[in-house]
Structure 1
Amino acid sequence: MLRNELEQQLNQLLKPEQIKDFCPNGLQIQGSNDIHKVITGVTASKALIDQAIAHNADALVVHHGFFWKNESYVIRGMKHDRIKALLENNINLFAYHLPLDIHPELGNNAQLAKLLGIETTGPLELGNPLSVAVQGQFAGEVSGEVLSARISETLNRQCLHIPPPSNKTIRTVAWCTGGGQGYIELAAEQGIDAFITGEASEQTTHVAHEMDIHFFAAGHHATERYGAKALAAHLAEHTDLSVEFIDINNPV
């Protein structure tokens, strides 16, 4: 497959033009024009790039790429080493941030819901079909303790659970993978029982306590590894490319 053909397929699938993001989505670093082997992963770290090199990959497709808003334009140090390794080995770097969060089937939010047994009912930001936070419900009520154990076991990562004073049972839930803790207030204002994300902030505890909502933080990486994994499976099924998802463990 040619590079521009893969880029067109990824853009048609993930539709980056539909959402304003904090970084460029699509091809970020140009490499080989002919693509046979593709590696997907969460973050374009040096460790993942080294794995792409070891697997003789022609393209690397990630959720967290380069060139973030307010990031220095200077290419030196860590950024230099990453980009140099890609260029020297003629590896294309494709990155899709929010588009890979919100995709209704392959996205991080959709994949997390599938893993945890949540039925998605709509966007958390009402009236915004491209909301990066979504809401849904469980088939039956669960306790906070049971849900915390389910998240920890499913994601193989100890989940942080901040219960509200009422410690109410949970039927409705909202979630945003990664660093979505700022959406907890919107979830609480809508009377949702629990909010799940990857990270926590100092004020999150107070919001959970004062607005009577369960809060669960299961790790930025742990909640966002499944979009890249699903994307690899999709590419393997719908193209003649050799595609592999590689998970570089990250405890955060």
Structure 2
Amino acid sequence: MKRTDLMAFLNDTLAPNQIRDFCPNGLQVEGAEHINRIVTGVTASQALVDKAIELGADALVVHHGYFWKGESEVITGMKQRRIKALLDNNINLIAYHLPLDVHPQLGNNAQLAKLLGIELQGGMEANPVSVPVWGRLAEPVSGEAFAQRIERVLGRKPLSSLVRSERIETIGLCTGGGQGYIDLAAQQGLDAYLTGEASEQTIHSSREQGIDFFAAGHHATERYGAKALGEHISQHFDVDVTFIDIDNPV
């Protein structure tokens, strides 16, 4: 397939122009014009780039790419080595950050909610495109039971602050580094809030506002959008797509 066809398909699917972000979404590093093999993953780390080279990929599609706002503009050190490896091997780097978080079917939030049995009801923000979302469990569970479910599904024990814990039914959700939305979840009267990371003040917010909190890992909560997007691509194009999970304990 042509790179232009892939980009048109991805931009139409993820609509990056509908949300403001901290990085460029779409094609970040230009490689081969014709694409036969795609590798997908969470972060365009050197390990994932090396795996894409090993597999002979023509494109690497990720959630966390490069060129973040506020970082140094110079291409040296780690950034230089990553980009040089992509250019030397003619690999396209394609990244979608918030657009891949918020997509209602393929997004990180939607995929994680599906895995954990949360039926999404809508966004937590008043914006047309809300980054944090909320939903309901089909059957209420205790905080301890929900923590055990997270551990079973994601393969890692979450950091938990269980302050009400007897009955959880409504849950706010934002994969990755979304701990700052816990206050919004509490204001909206949700029983619990789930994200990837925690800050020192997050636990105080949980305790003082009476909302259960779960931090299940930035990487662990965001494995599933890139994987789903790759499967979506393979359903529409005759191209080989492989999801690679580079382990990250954070």
TM over 0.5: yes
Distance (Å, rounded) in 2 between the aligned partners of 1:168 and 1:213: 11
Taking structure 1 as the reference length, what is the TM-score of the superposition? 0.98
The residue matched to 2:81 in structure 1 has which SS? helix
Cα distance, 1:109 vs structure 2: 0.1
5+ residue gaps, structure 2, are none
- Aligned residue in 2 for 1:87: 87
Task: Identify the residue that residue 24 of structure 1 maps to in structure 2.
Answer: 24
Shift of the alpha carbon at 1:168?
Answer: 3.6
Contact persistence 2:144–2:165 (CA under 8 A): no
Q: Name the counterpart of 2:212.
A: 214
Alignment of 1:80-159 (within 5 A): 80-125=80-125, 127-159=126-158
Aligned partners of 2:128, 2:117: CA distance in 1, in Å?
21
Deviations 1:160-215 (A, max 9, x none): 11111x43410110000000000000000111000000000000110000000000
- 1:158 Cα deviation (Å)? 1.2
RMSD: 0.7
2:195–2:214 contact (8 Å) kept in structure 1 = yes
Which whole-Å CA distance do the structure 1 matches of 2:244 and 2:89 have between them? Answer: 18
User: Structure 1 unaligned runs (5+)?
Assistant: none
Instruction: Give the letter aligned to residue 71 of structure 2.
Output: E
How many residues are treated as equivalent by the alignment? 250
Give the Cα separation in 2 of the matches to 1:240 and 1:225. 24
What is the rounded CA distance, in whole Å, between the counterparts of 2:161 and 2:242 in structure 1? 36
Partner of 1:3: 3
Alpha-carbon distance in 1 for matches of 2:216, 2:144: 14
1:140 deviates by 1.5
Matched-pair contact (CA < 8 Å) for 2:141–2:166 = no
Structure 2 residue aligned with 1:179: 177
Amino acid at match of 1:179: G
- Percent same amino acid at aligned positions? 63
Q: Distance in 2 between matches of 1:121 and 1:129?
A: 14
1:204 maps to what in 2? 202
Instruction: Name the CA distance, whole Å, in 1 between partners of 2:95 and 2:130.
Output: 19
Provide the TM-score with structure 2 as the length reference: 0.99
Q: How does 1:55-94 map to 2 (within 5 A)?
A: 55-94=55-94
